[in-house]
Amino acid sequence: MNIWRVLFSQRYLWATNTVSSGVLLGFGDVIQQHLKFFTAVKEKKTFEKVGTGSLRHLGVEWSQWRYDFRRTWRMFLVGLSQGPPHHWWYTFLDKSSSIFRFEKKKIFEQVYPSKSLRTVGKKILADQLVAAPFFAVTFFLGMGYLEKKSFDEIMTEFVKKFPSVYAFDWAIWPPTQFINFVYVSAAYRVLYVNLVTVLWDVFLSYIKHYDQCAHSKMAAPFFAVTFFLGMGYLEKKSFDEIMTEFVKKFPSVYAFDWAIWPPTQFINFVYVSAAYRVLYVNLVTVLWDVFLSYIKHYDQCAHSVDFDHCR
């Protein structure tokens, strides 16, 4: 207990938060690499039974699979670099005068260590709008630099993969941060976030090293187009009427798509056997289909992602 208190004392808290960020990001990659391996094992057995299929989409050469220590090392270094910003960010949100001596500056008096719902909501919003994009950018920049990619290559990858990262971020972090800001002591906030981050890091490692997930959203516009074309044809609408409806309603459909499908497909590609993937997607699609039917048949809600006023 004495060691624990020392590590989380004001004197060593910065170092503790920095090291734990690196260790847990590396640990997330360890989990992800082994998940990929065991998924390959499971799918290999499935393919052997049905006599078809390939493991190439997993990025695994079955007979030559080796653990990538350099990849984990890169993840560790990037996590290490993100530790200090995490520490300073949460200190700022709690207005810790022991590190930031801004007591007399009114601009920093807008952030309070209060646990009221209003204050917590502001902190969560600030975390999602400021911290989340910042750490996503630094993650891809850091990993790209360690992989010796050019700046253009890094930005191309970032633009391609950031939407999936940010959508999943909104699914994971608001409830996590609500617990963090309401129930967790300020000294343990970065540690708490880092522990939850193990799950998040598995996803980040997956997105970073598995292009199939990044490309999966390319299917979303296709299925949206075919849905409206098919429904319009069965309703005996003209092509112009179909396209007018599509242009009007597609933004709402696509926005909700980003909220639902990235986490769904992450589970699908990591944990679900290839033989059951369509069934799994169809089960989740029940919720999606309710939304599609709602959008399709209620014109007054076509432009809104917040449907409270349409009830």
Residue 130 and residue 143: Cα distance in Å, rounded?
A: 20
pLDDT band at 21 (very low <50, low <70, confident <90, very high): confident
Confidence of residue 270 (pLDDT cuts 50, 70, 90): low
Indicate whether 12 pLDDT > 60. Answer: yes
Beta strands in 47-162 (DSSP E): none
Q: Per-domain residue ranges for the chain?
A: 2-31+68-209, 217-310
Q: Amino acid identity of 110? A: Q
pLDDT in tens, 186-226: 778 777 877 787 777 777 777 776 654 444 555 566 667 77
In 3-state terms, what secondary structure has residue 307?
Answer: coil
Average pLDDT, the chain: 72
Confidence at residue 305, expressed as pLDDT on a 0 to 100 scale: 40
pLDDT score recorded for residue 111: 45
Q: Maximum CA pair distance of the chain?
A: 75
Tokens of 258: 């980003």
Q: Return d(Cα 294, Cα 291) in angstroms, integer.
A: 5
pLDDT digits (tens, 9 = 90+) for 125-149: 888 888 888 988 988 899 899 989 9
pLDDT in tens, 76-100: 898 888 888 888 887 787 663 333 3
- pLDDT computed for residue 309 by the predictor: 42
**Rounded Cα–Cα distance for residues 72 and 42 (Å):** 23
Confidence grade of residue 150 (pLDDT, cut at 50, 70, 90): very high
Cα of 234 vs its chain's centroid, Å: 38
Per-residue pLDDT averaged across 60-76, rounded? Answer: 74
> What's the average model confidence in pLDDT over 52-66?
51
Q: How far apart are CA 156 and CA 158, in angstroms?
A: 5
Cβ neighbours of 55 (radius 10 Å): 17
pLDDT for the residue 274 = 63
Q: So what's the pLDDT on residue 108?
A: 39
Type of residue found at 185: S
Q: What is the mean pLDDT of residues 248-268?
A: 73
Q: Rounded to whole angstroms, how far apart are CA atoms 81 and 42?
A: 36
pLDDT, position 35: 77
Nearest-angstrom CA–CA distance, 109 and 103: 8
Residue 186, token pair as written in the block:
């300020």
Task: Please tell me the distance from the alpha carbon of residue 107 to that of residue 120, in angstroms, as a whole number.
Answer: 18
Q: Which of 196, 163, 206, 5 is nearest to 86 (CA)?
A: 196
- Other Cβ atoms less than 10 A from the Cβ of 254: the count is 13
Q: What is the dihedral of CA 59, 65, 70, 73, to 10 degrees?
A: 90
Count of residues in the chain: 311
DSSP state of 111: -
